[in-house]
Structures are given as C-alpha cells and as structure tokens.
Structure 1
Amino acid sequence: MMFLGVRTLLRAAGFSRAHTIGTWLGELQFRVGWRLRNSLQRDIALALGRRTDDPSVSALLREAYRVNNGAVLEIMSMLDRRQSVDQLAASCELDGLENVREAMSGGRGAILLGAHMGNMALVTIQLMQAGWPVSVVYRDAKMMSAGFLQSGLEQYGVQAILANSGIRAYAQMLTALKQGRIVCVMLDQGIGTAENGMVHRFLGKDMSMSAGPAQLARASRAPVLPVAMKVAAPVWKFEIQPPIPLGSGSLEADVERMTRWTENQILRTPQFWSWHHRRWCHLPIAPPHPLTLPGTQGEDHGR
C-alpha cells in the first residue's frame, strides 16, 4: 500500500521533484525513527572509531538518510515510467570512462562493483549513452511490487538479472560477460545467512558476503572496476576506478579484497552510504578481534 501511494505521488510530481521529496522523507524518517537512529549512531561511532556522543556521527547519519532516500525515490520515478534519457544523463556526472575503455578492450566484458550510495541507476544510463551494453544484478525489494525493477530497467535497454535465482543468475552473468557486456553488482549488504556465503568483518560487523562476484571474475577473467561516489548535489557524481587486483590467491582472499575496497570507500565518505538499509543495521557489533585471512593483513585494498 505504501509503495502504491509513493508511486502515485511520484507520478504527479515527476522525476525532477523526486529527489527533493525523497530528502524530505529522509529527514522525517531520521527525526521520527529515534529508536533505530540511536542504535545506528552507536554502531556507526564504533565502526568509525569515534565516541558515541560525537555530534559528527548524528550529522553524517542525517545526511545519509537524506541522500539515499532521495536516491530511492529518484530510482522509483525513473523506473516507473521511462524518462528522457537526456534528462537522466544531465543528473549525473561519471568520471573514469578511460578505465572502462581499457577494461573492455580485453574482450571479456567488465564487472562494475558498486555500493548502496546514491542513485547508481544513473551510472548505467551514462554507460549506455557511451555505447556499452549493461546488465544489472538486482534483488527484489520488499517495498516494491514484483517485477517493478526488472521492467523498469528493461525499458532503458538494460538487462536485469535477478540475483535470487541462484545458479541461473550466475549463468546469465557469465553469458553477459562473454557477450562483452558490463555487469553491475553490489556486495555491501551481504546475503543473509553464513551458510550462503563467506563471513567477513565489514564496518564492525560480521556479515555473510556473496562469493558470486569474485567467482564470476575468476571464471570469466573479466576485470572488476569499483565505482566511487564523490558528490550528491547539485548532481550525482561518480568515478569508475582502475580494476581491483584479483585472482592471485584463493576465492576467499578475492572476496576479502572486494569487501575491503567497498568498506574503505564507505569510510572515506560515510555520509553517502545507506546505513539504515535493512540488513547491516540489524546485525550486532562483532567482538573486537577482526577476521583476517593469511596474506591479507596490512594490505590496503581500497587504494
């Protein structure tokens, strides 16, 4: 019911106002949801090595609510009804295309590693505008109706791959890379239970991280290009960075490297990450002995 109400509101307001409405709702959620807010502020302070009463923690969490709720409503608006591609492209600046060109010249496609930071859907539009075919790996959101994300992406010519379909999704990703496509994935919210992934320390919590993206990179030999969010306003600004070095060790070591890159990016700009996403925020803080892998201690995989 809430989804239908927001959808109706966005249709009346249009894409150009969706972000503003989202920031208002983010502000409201931050102020009203005091119980979750207090829990998040404590966890964020521990993750960032700050005092729990540090006012900067509250400020960055407030900004994270505003930025990411604005992004969610923008994405809903652009996927609900096809928008002008020129208008969408004007809402986002994308640097680092030279890294994409170099990666794609290898003929194996490329894996784009993003995070829940801002409107990443606009990055796919920019890549499509630059002439590259794009596939997006997604999970159905509980707040949205079934098929909404898939049909919304496909109206822009983006291939939508449902991650929940298991081995079928993996086969689709592998085929997409063989076809020379860019496959967009995210790692930063884990996948649920430890039985379904590899447990790694992430922002102070032990999370079960999907081994799928790392395994995909090893099987396809496609480079993994991380995406960093730089600016939220007046337009979104992202940067595609050089590939993460993978494949020289175990699969678990590769998952660790991808996890560390994602974590380091969030630590650089914590005000842009969706701390209130349903999975990380409900996990307990881990004991003070970090999980490490042989041969990975002391490496900075985010640089």
Structure 2
Amino acid sequence: MRDGALSGRMLGPFGILTRLEYWGFRIVAALFGALPVDVASSLSGWIWRTVAPHLRRHARAERNLAASMPELSAEERAAVLDQMWDGLGRTFAEAFHLRTIQSDPSRIVLDLSPEVLEAVRSPRGCVLACPHMGNWEVASIGALRAGGRVAGVYQRLKNPLVDRYVTGLREPYYPQGLFTKGNDAVLKLRRVLRQGHGVALLADLREMRGVAVPFFGRPAPSTPFPAFLACSMGAPLVAGRVVRLGGARFRITGELLPVQATGDRDADIEATTAAIHACFERFIRENPGQWMWAHRRWG
C-alpha cells in the first residue's frame, strides 16, 4: 500500500493520489459549507475534540502545556487541551464560511485603541504580527474593517490542487496579495509597505533558521521576519490576536509594540522579535485554550 501511494505521488502534481486527496477535501468542504456557519463550526469542533486526543500530536500538546504552564493542575490542562481541539476544529469548518463571517457585523468585535487604528492606517505601512489564536483567518478581515489593506504570506500546501482551492478562499481578505513563503516574498512585502499598505503575518511557529528568543521561559527558534520588516522599513508594528467569544463570534485586539532602532540591525531584530513573543505569551496566558499547543515550538 505504501509503495502504491508513493507511486501515485510520483505521477506528478496532478497524479492519482493528488486528485483523490483533492476530491476528498472538496467533499468535506462541500459538506461543511452547506451547513449554517454555527452548525458547521460546532460539529467540526465536536469531531476534533473527540478524535484528536487519541492522536500522537495530543501527547506533544500535553508536554508543551505542562512545561510552559506548570502551575496548572492535570484537570486544568485537560480542559485547556479540550478547548484547543474544539477551537481548531471550529477554525477548520469556518474556513468555508469566511464570507458569511465578514458580512455579519455582529460576528467580529474590533477592540482597538486609537493608536493601533492609526498604525493600521499609517502611510508608512504597518506590520501586523499575530499568533495562531481564536480563528486567525479572521485577523485579515478585522484589518480590512479597521481601514487597512493588507498582504499576507502562507506556507504552500503539499497538494497543489488543495493549495489552489484553499488559497482561493483566503485571497479576498488580502487585497494587497497573498504570497507563498520564500525569498521573493521579502521583496513583495517590502514593496507593499513602501506603498503605504499593511503586511499581516502569523509569527508564532518554530523557525529553525530564525532567532532564539524567550517564550514561556525557554529559548524558542522564531521567525525574525516581522521584526526585520518593521526595523528595515520604519513601519509601525502591531501584535494582534483573535479571541473566540463563543461559537463563530470573535473579538480582535491589538497592541502597538516598540521597534528597536539602535543602529545594530541584528540586535534590533532580535530585541523586537523578543518583544513580539513576550506579547504573544501574555496573550496566550490570558486564553491558553485558544492557542495551538501541539506544534514543535521549542525545537
């Protein structure tokens, strides 16, 4: 079976296995997309929190949470992880209802200070760094509602057909472009900032070629990209988060962060990256069940 699967992959980007994966994904997308958004969100959340605790990534999430927040009891950790899987399941289903979420003003509450709103609309552009919290796909919708026009970067999915479909769902909320991760993304995003627009980045995952900064008391290899853009372009830097209020309803908050500017570029980028992650840690401690603990975050 394994050799057959591999040979299917080797038929090319549109080989048998690629097409089967794609159509399986489209069937799931059609099923969740046909349901009302709240029903789809609730059903997917239930499926994930029922199935995921039996998978290997759950043990990793338990280890990460125990090491990061040892003050929690076993029962509290279990509740956090149950909420995490529920939220991830909901986020999956809500991807097929982003248009509904955007068009319903009651589903997103913007809780942004005047200084953050000014930064988002800055003629120097703005760098928005967010963690994977709540439903992070909603962050770009919030930026649009706040008066910003943002570009984004994403990691290309292995299946090119699924990648094309998912990208099509997300592109409307990134009017300045949704670019694949890579060296040319740097040039594209710098151009976006020069034009006075925003760049929205998810910045809380492991980056082994990045800089190690403190995160929950341990060095964590982290992307320096948001700090690099803010330091090199003189753009304001905002740490944003999406908090799930219940069901498919959200609150978006943000904090304007200091951008280090001593003239030592490497030191400035490292210090600014550390400031981003200190803010992320505070966000997560306030709502630990809304962050993804299952990633290999600390190497």
Structure-2 change in CA distance of 1:131 and 1:170 (3 Å): same
- The total of aligned residue pairs comes to 271
State the 1:203 CA deviation: 3.5
Report the equivalent of 1:172.
188
Query: Are 1:270 and 2:288 matched, yes or no?
Result: yes
> SS of 2:257's equivalent?
coil
Shift of 1:111: 1.0
**Does structure 1 retain, via aligned residues, the 8 Å contact 2:124–2:193?**
yes
3-state SS, counterpart of residue 132 of structure 1: coil
- Three-state SS of the structure 1 residue aligned to 2:181 is helix
> Structure 1 residue 221 and structure 2 residue 234: aligned?
yes
Contact 1:41 1:61 in 2 (8 A): yes
Cα offsets for 1:180-207 (capped at 9, x unmatched):
212111211123xx3x222234346543
Question: What is the distance in 1 between the residues matched to 2:221 and 2:275?
Answer: 14
Work out the CA distance in 1 between the residues paired with 2:146 and 2:197.
13
Q: Distance in 2 between matches of 1:93 and 1:84?
A: 11
Of 32, 45, 54 in structure 2, the residue corresponding to residue 32 of structure 1 is 54
The CA deviation at 1:157 is 5.5
Q: CA deviation at 1:21?
A: 2.2
Question: What is the CA deviation profile of residues 157-194 of structure 1, one whole-angstrom value per residue up to 9, with x for unaligned ones?
Answer: 6334334222x101111111112212111211123xx3
Q: Deviations over 1:242-265 (max 9, x none)?
A: 333433453222222222222222
CA RMSD of aligned residues (A): 2.6
- Give the structure 2 partner of residue 86 of structure 1: 103
Instruction: Tell me the residue number matched to 1:299.
Output: none
Residues 157/261 of structure 1: CA separation in 2 closer, same or farther (3 Å cut): closer
Q: Per-residue CA shift, 1:33-92, capped at 9, x if unaligned?
A: 3x43344223311211236x62101111110111122112212443xxx547422x4321
Aligned to 2:8: none
Match of 2:12 in 1: none
Q: Give runs of aligned pairs for residues 97-136 of structure 1, distance below 5 A.
A: 98-104=114-120, 106-136=122-152
CA contact (8 A) 1:47 1:203 kept: yes
**Residue equivalent to 2:82:** 62
TM-score by length of 2: 0.79
Query: Which structure's relative contact order is higher, taking Cα pairs within 8 Å and 6+ residues apart?
Result: 2
User: 1 CA distance for matches of 2:146 and 2:270?
Assistant: 34
Aligned-pair CA distance for 1:93: 1.0
Q: Taking structure 1 as reference, are residues 214 and 83 closer, same or farther at Cα in structure 2, changes over 3 Å only?
A: same
Residues 97, 72 of structure 1: alpha-carbon distance in 2 compared, 3 angstrom cutoff: farther
The Cα offsets for residues 137-169 of structure 1, whole Å up to 9 and x where unpaired, read as: 222345881223432233346334334222x10
Code of the aligned partner of 1:98: P
Helix, strand or coil: the match of 1:74? helix
1:247 match: secondary structure = coil
2:156 to 140, 145, 148: 140
**C-alpha contact (below 8 Å) 2:133/2:242 kept by paired residues:** yes
The answer on 1:209 being equivalent to 2:209 is: no
1:42 aligns with one of 63, 78, 88: 63
Of all paired residues, the percent bearing the same amino acid is: 22
Q: Which has the higher helix share?
A: 2
Q: Provide the TM-score with structure 1 as the length reference.
A: 0.78
Residue aligned with 2:261, SS: coil
The equivalent position to 1:152 in structure 2, one of 169, 179, 183, is 169
Could you tell me how far apart the structure 1 residues matched to 2:268 and 2:236 are? Answer: 16
Closer, same or farther: CA 50–141 of 1 in aligned 2, 3 Å:
farther
1:236 Cα shift?
0.9
Hey, what does 2:211 align to over in structure 1?
198
Give the deviation of 1:214 after TM superposition.
Answer: 0.8
